Amino acid sequence: MYKPKTYRAKTYRAKTGLKQQTEKELQKMVCDYLKVKYPKILFNSDMAGAMKLTIGQAVQISKLRSNKGFPDIAIYEPRGEFHGLFIELKKEGEVLYKRNGEAVTEHVQEQINCINLLKAKGYAAVFAIGFDESKTIIDSYLMYHK
């Protein structure tokens, strides 16, 4: 099972000296990368999750979805036994699991459940922490032929 690094954001900033990137910035970078490197593939990005919405807007959007925790990026390109790739983006330093192995929040658990459901339906579905990991996952998937 794919399990990303679990380091704390504060530690990451202290070690690297880099400004903490927002999920919105990360999502834009990943979309720009897809457009430049793979201009012929179809993909969709869910910006609602990365934006600050009013409670009313959040309620309206939730009524248009099948479930909570749907991944941020959907790449509609079959590869091997997979029908497509779904990626739940997390900014650098984000932690998904507590030390005891449980999800850090109820929302992250909903995302884990959705990813597991997508996998059961024949899709590749993963978490990606930061741009470099996102890029590696996308490149590996799109170069995959089986």
Beta strand 73-75 with 85-90 is: antiparallel
Residue in 72, 58, 70 with CA at minimum distance from that of residue 30: 72
pLDDT value of position 24: 87
Determine the average pLDDT of the residues in 97-121: 95
**CA–CA distance, 101 with 134 (Å, rounded to integer):** 23
**CA–CA distance, 1 with 35 (Å, rounded to integer):** 29
Residue in 43, 33, 48, 42 with CA at minimum distance from that of residue 87: 43
Whose structure tokens read 């690094």?
5
CB 77 within 8 A of CB 123: no
Question: Residue 73: beta bridge partners?
Answer: 45, 87
CB 72 within 8 A of CB 107: no
pLDDT value of position 19: 66
Q: Could you tell me where the beta strands, DSSP code E, fall in 2-145? A: 43-45, 73-75, 85-90, 124-129
Task: Give domain limits for the chain.
Answer: 20-142
At 6, the pLDDT band (50, 70, 90 cuts) reads very low
Count CB neighbours of 22 within 10 A: 11
List pLDDT tens digits, range 28-74. Answer: 999 999 999 999 999 999 866 666 778 888 788 777 777 778 999 99
CATH for 20-142 (3.40.1350.10, 1.10.490.10, 2.40.50.460, 1.10.8.50) = 3.40.1350.10
What φ, ψ does residue 94 adopt, rounded to 5°?
A: -65, 145
